[in-house]
Structure 1
Amino acid sequence: MADPDDPAAPAARFRRLQAGLAQALAAAGPGSTTPHVVVALPSHSMPTRLLDHNASHLPALEHRALLDGLRLAHTPGAHVVVVVSEAPAPEVLDHYAWLARPDDPDAARRRMTCLVVPDGSARGIAAKLLSRPDLLARLRAQLAGRPAVVEPWNVTEDEAAVALALDTPVNGGPPDLWHLGFKSASRRLFRRGGVPVPPGVEDVRDTADVAAAVVDLHRASPSADRFVVKLDNSGAGEGNWMFSTSTAGGRRLSQEALAERISTEAPGWFLRDLRAGGVVEQWVAGTGSLPSPSAQVELLPDGEVVVRATHEQVLGGPDGQVFTGSRFPADPAYSADLAGHATAVARLLADRGAVGWASVDFVVARHGRRHAPFAVDLNLRKGGTSHSLAALQHLVPGTYDAAGGRWVADADGGPRHYRSSDAVPVNPGTDAAAALSAVDASGSTFDHARGTGAVLHMLAALGPHGTVGVTAIGRTAAEAETLYDDVAATLAATGGP
């Protein structure tokens, strides 16, 4: 076994490389005139089942990172390189250049480039790039000795290897902490941080473990009937399976009968992947619907934790567990609690050497006027809300007030809200140029003077899926919601008879 402290070992080399992260981030900060490069690496290094399931969607998911190019709006020294597996349409890059610099889009266009790794396989873009040393060499040449930083979606061994090949620090990692975002490990971390979690049992690996866990949980909560099993290494609600512990007539199943139900009703792939570990959680009950908010934090190289945002997640799918969009910010009735809980967890992560982005997902039980948040997931990466937040940060620079639960714009001191989705339906056959033109003709495109309007993303999904992403920014929640609905209606009519 290799010694990780051997100066030649990848882990030791990565630690030395990361010693320059603070300096690289300072060179790339808002307003910086220092010539530098930001390498956006939207590498979705996920379990094979998730990559296979999302294979046709990977190019569009990668294109969410194009919104990072909007940093050119306020950072004159930046050059942004986005690594993708499919080239975006020229009109998409032209549109983002205009969004970043309406006064001089040509200048912005020259400072934003894409490195295309033409590979349609179900792998993260970092793995694809590592298999193309010629493209790695081209990317190294683009850095041209300038300060640089890699902005990843997540950091596993693949992303760390890309950083080492580029000799450039990465705003994330180290990869040996990746497992802390797994469900069993994150529940333990939540408890250590004093963050409430739903009643549950970690480290279950088969149907017998799940049934035994439910029996244990029933001792403390005899009336509980709904439970969810979550695979340790999963995300975005994929890898969650819900079940009831009673018959249709309301009779409680025995432990043996429950194990049999799980064996026959859970998908075969789910039971196979459960062997690697998972958790059982009691479904949180409350009055009315259960909000599912999240809190996003950034862990800086000096150990400081900054709360960047809170969101209300919009969930869908067969069991209402799959992320489909968000509203920013989260409800002020509990957003400060979310920020406090996420900060407590992030400090534990920082103590372990974690840096970069992380988020905590919650469910909130309502009991009359009381709100009780429970942490249900930890993501040591960017997530489904990161790209929409990037659009707000770059187009309406400001600060998230964690205590007040609101965005305060630098330009006017006023708040901003947004409604976002990655999957707004568009008429079949609509291309990127038509979608952008339709939104522009409707008067909904982002208005720089007012600091409100709609930004489209994931335009690569138009062809294969007939959908596009929308982030609608308003001065009030109602304005953002109305704008989102108007854009969705415009897109639904685009290309129609």
Structure 2
Amino acid sequence: MATINISELEQFDKFRNLQSTLHERWKNIELFDNSEADILVIPSLSIDQRELQKIEGCEHYEERLLFSLMRLRNPRTRLVYVTSMPLHPSIIDYYLQLLPGIPFSHARNRLLLLSTYDSSLKPLTQKILERPRLLERIRQAMRLEKSFMICYNSTFLEAEMSLKLDVPLYAAAPDLQIWGSKSGSRQIFAESGVPHPAGSEKIWNPSALAEAASELWESEPTLQRMVVKLNEGISGEGNALLDLRPIMNVAPGEVPPAKRLTVMSEHLPTLRFQAKQETWENFSGRIAELGAIVEAFIEGETKRSPSVQGRITPSGEVEILSTHDQILGGPDGQIYLGCRFPADERYRLQLQQLGLQVGKKLAEKGALERFGVDFIAVDKGDKDWDIQAIEINLRKGGTTHPFMTLKLLTNGRYDLSTGLFYSQLGRPKYYIATDNLQKDRYRGLLPNDLMDIIAHHRLHFDSCTETGTVFHLMGCLSQFGKLGLTCIGDSSQQAEDIYNKVVKVLDEQTRGENYDVPLFSDYSFPVVEH
């Protein structure tokens, strides 16, 4: 992906100095109910656009940060949200009506929605920078001494925008994003003493991949499979599985290393890709552009994919925010589909400790704001789990928006001693969330249709009981039949029951033409022409 160069030392010093003002503003930002702040939300997915296109409906993923609108429950907060294309008004109304105790009109007056009206295959931040008048309008809307900027991920594009607006970016600086890559993650795990699979450093071509895979097999002769990962893949879409079982005749100890390397090179085109319609020809070319690693595939009869999320404050303090059990799919269970909160009680406290170790090392490097660490956990029996770290995310990943939705709706707290989240009423809360409720039969449903279904079947989040469903990615629904949702309950079973009810209702409502939900227009007054 092409980036705008601000690597000159003088410019980068200016960025760092601007970012340092967050130290002074941080206490006010955290005083959620009475602080005065202007928040600029730039939900740009500033990653390799070809990798991003592997995610169906990715053009609507700018909606994932709409949980930020819930910050308008603070009557002294103003928010600017910029998107590539305008958002459907029903989607905005939906989020603002979730705010307890705040008149809809009051919240709406403190929200400025802007759009580039550009659906091209570029990061949103780049589109904004290419429109100086839009950039100036954003700048004029912000009270600079009270403002900060948040984003999906931080690159030199976001740093340049921060400088042009004179608004500090609350995210890890672009030069630190290496620690969120696959190779950088492995280095952090090694330095922080966190267990992780055997694997390689970053490689740049298929011949180096064959060599690294052969060396890994030599050092781990019992391996049956390996994982090859593009260094900047997202949601597991950049992963491929290398099955060694068909070439066990050249396993370590059977033939000389030179012979094994030759066979390995010939075997690489048989990689099993997680992304749909991926090919070896394209994948091998991507290795030359992005780099890749190869690491041991962790086998196990009972295997989980938990994660831990944390935050590094401007003062350098590391806080653990949550743990999850991730829901994975795809050909070999490598694609992120959703998550359950919290992670299993048998290992969630261990996840917190490992996450703290990683967070402290990231803080030493100068990282800021959110980080997530993904693990593989294998049940060894007698309540013993082998936990291996596999990846760091220095961005707002798939577990960010469900947890922040819960936190901002209930204004509750995360308890480190139990790994549970408690609402202000003292109830522990659980949820199941996904970005990938997708069925062909859902195609053609408009946001207004979804609102009719939600209202008629009472699928909404109830602020009195603090249970129910919060929907997102509603812009994906009509074209892709794809929807996101976070189902919140007072137990994990209740959260799952709520999720199953939503799916059942949507399935019933998209079965042929037999809709039993009155259209919104049936209850609306006709337009009177003057």
Is the CA contact (8 Å cut-off) linking 2:75 and 2:102 kept in structure 1? no
Give 2:264's match in structure 1, choosing from 258, 269, 280: 258
**Match status 1:385 vs 2:399:** yes
Distance in 2 (CA, whole Å) between partners of 1:59 and 1:247 is 39
Q: Kindly tell me: are residues 430 and 264 of structure 1, through their superposed partners in 2, closer, same or farther at Cα, counting changes over 3 Å?
A: closer
Question: Matched residue of 1:251: which SS?
Answer: helix
Distance in 1 (CA, whole Å) between partners of 2:505 and 2:343 is 27
Question: Matched residue of 2:201: which SS?
Answer: strand
Give the aligned partner of residue 313 of structure 1: 326
Give the aligned partner of residue 105 of structure 1: 104
Moved more, 309-318 or 257-266: 257-266
Give 1:475's match in structure 2, choosing from 490, 502, 519: 490
Distance in 1 (CA, whole Å) between partners of 2:493 and 2:165 is 45
Residue 452 of structure 1 deviates from its aligned partner by 1.0
Distance in 1 (CA, whole Å) between partners of 2:328 and 2:117 is 32
Distance in 2 (CA, whole Å) between partners of 1:487 and 1:406 is 25
Give the aligned partner of residue 338 of structure 1: 351
Q: Aligned AA for 2:415?
A: D
Distance in 2 (CA, whole Å) between partners of 1:5 and 1:430 is 49
Is the CA contact (8 Å cut-off) linking 2:433 and 2:487 kept in structure 1? yes
Give the aligned partner of residue 434 of structure 1: 449
Q: Aligned AA for 2:11?
A: P
Q: For 1:106-148, what per-residue CA distance to the aligned partner results, in whole angstroms no more than 9, with x for missing partners?
A: 2112222311111111222111111111111111111144501
Distance in 2 (CA, whole Å) between partners of 1:13 and 1:32 is 31
Give the aligned partner of residue 374 of structure 2: 361
Residue 102 of structure 1 deviates from its aligned partner by 5.4
Give the aligned partner of residue 71 of structure 2: 71
Give 1:453's match in structure 2, choosing from 468, 476, 481: 468
Question: Matched residue of 1:203: which SS?
Answer: coil
The gaps in structure 1 that reach 5 residues or longer are: none
The gaps in structure 2 that reach 5 residues or longer are: 252-259, 272-278, 514-530
Distance in 1 (CA, whole Å) between partners of 2:246 and 2:80 is 56
Task: Count the aligned residue pairs.
Answer: 489
Question: Matched residue of 2:209: which SS?
Answer: helix
Residue 189 of structure 1 deviates from its aligned partner by 1.0
Give 1:486's match in structure 2, choosing from 474, 488, 501: 501
Q: Which residues in structure 2 correspond to 1:8-23 (within 5 Å)? A: 9-23=10-24
Q: For 1:219-258, what per-residue CA distance to the aligned partner results, in whole angstroms no more than 9, with x for missing partners?
A: 343221111111112221121110111328x534632112
Computed over aligned residues only, the root mean square deviation of the Cα atoms, in angstroms, reads 2.0
Residue 338 of structure 1 deviates from its aligned partner by 1.3
**Match status 1:286 vs 2:300:** yes
Question: Matched residue of 1:228: which SS?
Answer: strand
Distance in 1 (CA, whole Å) between partners of 2:496 and 2:432 is 6
Give the aligned partner of residue 141 of structure 1: 140
Give the aligned partner of residue 297 of structure 1: 310
Question: Matched residue of 2:238: which SS?
Answer: strand
Q: For 1:424-476, what per-residue CA distance to the aligned partner results, in whole angstroms no more than 9, with x for missing partners?
A: 23623211122122122222210101111100111110122112111000010
Residue 34 of structure 1 deviates from its aligned partner by 3.9
Residue 103 of structure 1 deviates from its aligned partner by 5.0
Is the CA contact (8 Å cut-off) linking 2:444 and 2:479 kept in structure 1? no
Q: Aligned AA for 1:307?
A: I
Residue 363 of structure 1 deviates from its aligned partner by 0.7
Give the aligned partner of residue 254 of structure 2: none
Q: Kindly tell me: are residues 186 and 31 of structure 1, through their superposed partners in 2, closer, same or farther at Cα, counting changes over 3 Å?
A: closer
Q: Aligned AA for 1:379?
A: N
Residue 65 of structure 1 deviates from its aligned partner by 1.3
Give the aligned partner of residue 417 of structure 1: 430
Residue 91 of structure 1 deviates from its aligned partner by 1.6
Distance in 1 (CA, whole Å) between partners of 2:294 and 2:6 is 36
Q: Kindly tell me: are residues 264 and 414 of structure 1, through their superposed partners in 2, closer, same or farther at Cα, counting changes over 3 Å?
A: closer
Residue 30 of structure 1 deviates from its aligned partner by 4.3
Is the CA contact (8 Å cut-off) linking 2:144 and 2:167 kept in structure 1? no
Distance in 1 (CA, whole Å) between partners of 2:471 and 2:249 is 50
Task: Point out the structure with max Rg over C-alpha.
Answer: 2
Distance in 1 (CA, whole Å) between partners of 2:6 and 2:503 is 55
Distance in 2 (CA, whole Å) between partners of 1:285 and 1:93 is 44
Give 2:414's match in structure 1, choosing from 385, 395, 400: 400
Q: Kindly tell me: are residues 170 and 145 of structure 1, through their superposed partners in 2, closer, same or farther at Cα, counting changes over 3 Å?
A: closer
Residue 5 of structure 1 deviates from its aligned partner by 7.9
**Match status 1:465 vs 2:466:** no
Is the CA contact (8 Å cut-off) linking 1:299 and 1:305 kept in structure 2? yes
Residue 264 of structure 1 deviates from its aligned partner by 5.7
Residue 291 of structure 1 deviates from its aligned partner by 0.7
Moved more, 216-225 or 455-464: 216-225
Residue 204 of structure 1 deviates from its aligned partner by 2.6
Question: Matched residue of 1:200: which SS?
Answer: coil
Residue 495 of structure 1 deviates from its aligned partner by 4.6
Is the CA contact (8 Å cut-off) linking 1:65 and 1:82 kept in structure 2? no
Give the aligned partner of residue 117 of structure 2: 118
Is the CA contact (8 Å cut-off) linking 1:434 and 1:494 kept in structure 2? no
Give the aligned partner of residue 179 of structure 1: 178
Q: For 1:24-45, what per-residue CA distance to the aligned partner results, in whole angstroms no more than 9, with x for missing partners?
A: 3333334343432111111111
Distance in 1 (CA, whole Å) between partners of 2:508 and 2:31 is 38
Residue 158 of structure 1 deviates from its aligned partner by 0.4
Residue 164 of structure 1 deviates from its aligned partner by 1.0
Is the CA contact (8 Å cut-off) linking 1:309 and 1:329 kept in structure 2? yes
Q: For 1:141-188, what per-residue CA distance to the aligned partner results, in whole angstroms no more than 9, with x for missing partners?
A: 111445011111111000111111111111112111111211112101
